[in-house]
């Protein structure tokens, strides 16, 4: 990285932000992380069926093999 690009990068990070702007950014990030964590819990995959239970497709069984006779 040449000195001019480094100076531009340093100036970009060096620009002052008010405390209010920093707090808004942190609060937005926290809200986004919380929403993502809640969204992941709600979309959990259904549990597989144990051996010996009736199933219709291989994906339903824990061993990924559906025996239609059981």
Give 43-52 pLDDT, tens digit per residue: 555 677 777 7
Q: What is the 8-class DSSP label of residue 58?
A: G
Could you give the CA distance from residue 26 to residue 40 in angstroms, rounded to a whole number? 21
Give the global pTM: 0.38
Mean pLDDT across the chain = 76
Tokens of 27: 């609060």
**Cβ-based neighbour number of residue 49 at 10 Å:** 16
What is the H or E stretch that residue 40 is in?
A: helix 19-42
State the average pLDDT over residues 22-43.
Answer: 81
């Amino acid at each position: 990285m040449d000195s001019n690009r480094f100076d531009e990068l340093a100036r970009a990070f060096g620009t002052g932000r008010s405390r209010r702007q920093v707090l808004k950014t942190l609060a937005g990030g926290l809200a986004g992380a919380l929403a993502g964590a809640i969204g992941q819990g709600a979309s959990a995959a259904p549990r597989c069926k144990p051996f010996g239970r009736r199933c219709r497709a291989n994906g339903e069984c824990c061993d990924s093999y559906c025996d239609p006779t059981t």
